[in-house]
Amino acid sequence: MISATTYQAATVVAQTIEQHFIQQLAAARLNNNQHLAPEPNAYVIEKIIDTAFWASLRREEGHIIRISLSYLPPESTKHPILFQQRLPLTPAILTKLAPGVERPGIHLGVWEEDGELFIWGTTRSIPSLSFVVDVSEPGLLVIKHRRLHGFGKYANVAVLKGDQVKIIDENSAALEDCPGFLTFLLGSQKPFSDIAANVLIYLAVSMRAHKRGGSLLIVPANSETWPDSIVKPMLYSVQPAASGLARVVKHKEKKMANGTWQVSLKKEVDYLAGLTAIDGATIINEHYELLAFGAKIGRAPGSKPVEEMIVTEPIIGDTEKQLHPAQNGGTRHLSVAQFVHDQRDAIGLVASQDGKFTIFSWSQSKQMVHAHLIDILLL
């Protein structure tokens, strides 16, 4: 164990994160939720973050470290792999273990006894609201928890990058005209029977993963006006609309019953997200049917150039800004902002090569394009 915290950001955020888990777990207990994770205190949070940070700066045989730590006792998880001897929680131990546990879904189990933290083994199953620290890249830590209902991406709580600290502001979900899947990313704990938002989250994560940048436009299924905002001819228009992802979503219950749901969904999501790497925008309708890709966005006849938009990021301390689209990104951001300005019932997703991710939607209350910066939620 490191006796004193030397990564100061860990000390700065520990109490805030402790309060987050106190509130989340208390609310879950009031709703009679079962199989909840233990509550991490500020000391535990600070020490795990501190150790994970210094481990993230190391290399194992030249490779960077990617690990996930979860705070829980072994008896609260299913089918854990238990080490015969407890291992001390140190950067050196994490570095040695990292190559074997870097695959998604594997967590190193951390627990405390007599004020000392130790690693007891690994697990792929953790209870709801488990405190998790992900080491994504050198100096970058993501604090998150498993959602109450276990479906979809973990909810991010905070992101620490060096001395930069960003705490997720869940109250951002209360913003007027907040897109549905952004609300879910911000930690909505309601049962999620409609998978629409989760499919878009998977698409956003996959778009970001190919690191080439890309644009995805989602238009209403009955829309006949969206082609007005596309430069003709459309070289890669799809007729009839391709429906691989749509079929997977439509037959969700059947695929879940035979255990093929996750594999089928990932395959179709990755195929569709891969098309966004092609220069131009990929266009789908709200039923996930592919309409076109590599499309060049233009101004609709009679429309005006978009001159200003709202920009927000769902973190504590953020203030709403009004900027010209060119101040928020390059040509891709400007063109998608123009598309949403002209096609106000559409949503645009833009991934940058550097990992930044933006949702563009139309704000009815402000009568303006709203750019939601959400890469902090996709890590």
List the CATH number of the domain containing 297. 3.40.1700.10
Backbone angles phi, psi at 181, to 5 degrees: -75, -20
Q: Is residue 206 part of a domain?
A: yes
Q: pLDDT tens for residues 133-173?
A: 999 899 999 999 988 766 567 889 999 999 899 999 877 76
* pLDDT at residue 242 is higher than 80: yes
pTM, whole model, 2 decimals?
Answer: 0.86
* pLDDT at residue 191 is higher than 50: no
Residue 174, pLDDT score: 61
**What is the spatial order of strands in the sheet that 368-373 belongs to?**
237-242, 290-295, 281-285, 214-219, 347-351, 357-363, 368-373, 309-312, 321-323
131 and 208 fall within a common domain: no
Residue finishing a domain among 167, 184, 212: 167
Q: Is residue 321 part of a domain?
A: yes
128 and 246 fall within a common domain: no
159 and 201 fall within a common domain: no
Q: Provide the domain limits for residue 154.
A: 8-167
17 and 154 fall within a common domain: yes
Long-range contacts of 55-60 (CB under 8 A, 24+ apart): 55/91, 55/94, 55/95, 55/98, 55/135, 56/135, 56/137, 56/138, 56/139, 56/140, 56/141, 57/138, 57/139, 58/91, 58/92, 58/95, 59/95, 60/95, 60/96, 60/98, 60/99
132 and 216 fall within a common domain: no
Nearest to 294 by CA among 281, 312, 307, 305: 281
Q: Is residue 19 part of a domain?
A: yes
Q: Is residue 325 part of a domain?
A: yes
Backbone angles phi, psi at 310, to 5 degrees: -90, 140
**252 in the Ramachandran plot: left (φ > 0), alpha (ψ -120 to 50) or beta?**
alpha
Q: pLDDT tens for residues 298-347?
A: 999 999 999 999 999 989 988 889 988 888 888 999 999 999 999 999 99
Site of tokens 């600070």: 46
Q: pLDDT tens for residues 47-74?
A: 999 999 999 999 888 889 999 999 999 9
Q: Is residue 41 part of a domain?
A: yes
Q: Is residue 318 part of a domain?
A: yes
Residue 153, pLDDT score: 78
346 and 211 fall within a common domain: yes
Q: Please, which residues have CB within 8 angstroms of residue 323's CB and are 6 or more apart in sequence?
A: 308, 309, 311
* pLDDT at residue 129 is higher than 70: yes
347 and 302 fall within a common domain: yes
How many domains does the structure of the chain reveal? 2
162 and 201 fall within a common domain: no
370 and 250 fall within a common domain: yes
Residue finishing a domain among 167, 184, 219: 167
Instruction: Retrieve residue 270's tokens.
Output: 């990755």
250 and 292 fall within a common domain: yes
Q: Are strands 107-113 and 67-71 parallel, antiparallel or unpaired?
A: parallel
118 and 222 fall within a common domain: no
Q: How far is CA 307 from the centre of its chain?
A: 29
Q: Is residue 177 part of a domain?
A: no
Q: Cα separation of 201 and 196, whole Å?
A: 9
Residue finishing a domain among 167, 183, 210: 167
Q: Is residue 252 part of a domain?
A: yes
158 and 207 fall within a common domain: no
